[in-house]
Amino acid sequence: MTAYLDYTSPAIQYTFDVNTSPLFRKNSQNYINVLGVAQLNSLENTSLLDIFLSSGNVVEPHYHQNAAELVYCISGAAVVSLLNPFTKQILNFPIAPGQVANVPQGWWHYEIATSDQTHLLAIFDAPTPEVILGSDILRFTPANVMAHTYCMDEQQWKQTVAPVKPSTYIGPYEDCHRIMAAVPQPYAQQHFVPAAATPRPPYYPQPRR
């Protein structure tokens, strides 16, 4: 059903301060702000997440069941990774300021910052950016179902996923004491090239002549 806006109503909003709309906050360098129709009622099929990350921090694996996502790098650098459900391949796309990566609707994906002060803008073609998080799938699917499905011992599964916190959004956790590199491989060795020099992936349509 199409919603029609009454642009003569004094209740219609045309501006909003996204800084006042937090979705998730890990610390002062890693947080996400949200803008959707709930925040700005004149929006139609558009919404966004304003994402700030320091090096090595990850927007956890997830998918958006209601929208495609365009990830634009404002500052810093990141690798946008997605699972192509048709080829079963993980595709890694490094982006630097001014570059974008497109995530089709419903595709499993995640972003890893490869630089401090990384600022990403995730733009969606839906009025509300709905999301299914990997952490929620791991914690809320019954342990006996996961263990039975994947031929595992149920206690082994419970022990494995016990450290996973629901709605992680940005990992690793603040209290993570696991020894790790600042940026996990293979992302630490990614080389960023200007957009004009980036090879066109074979599944993109070629420009018309």
DSSP per-residue string spanning 19-46: GG-EEEEEETTEEEEEESTTT-TT--S-
Residue 62's CB is within 10 A of a number of other CB atoms, namely: 18
pLDDT value of residue 209 = 44
Token pair recorded at residue 84? 């192509």
> How much is the pTM?
0.84
pLDDT value of residue 5 = 83
CA dihedral 84, 88, 93, 98 (to 10 degrees): 0
pLDDT value of residue 4 = 74
pLDDT value of residue 112 = 98
SS3 197: helix
Does 146 reside within a domain? no
pLDDT value of residue 159 = 95
Query: What is the mean pLDDT for each group of 10 consecutive residues in the chain (209 residues)?
Result: 76 96 97 97 95 97 98 98 97 98 98 98 96 97 97 96 96 80 50 40 43
pLDDT value of residue 179 = 54
Rg, Å, the chain Cα set: 19
Domain residue limits at 97: 18-131+179-189
CATH code (residue 83): 2.60.120.10
pLDDT value of residue 6 = 87
Provide the residue count of the chain: 209
pLDDT value of residue 20 = 98
Does 93 reside within a domain? yes
Number of domains the chain is built from: 1
Question: Cβ-count burial of 124 within 10 angstroms (0-12 exposed, 13-18 middle, 19+ buried)?
Answer: buried
**Cβ atoms of 21 and 36 closer than 8 Å:** no
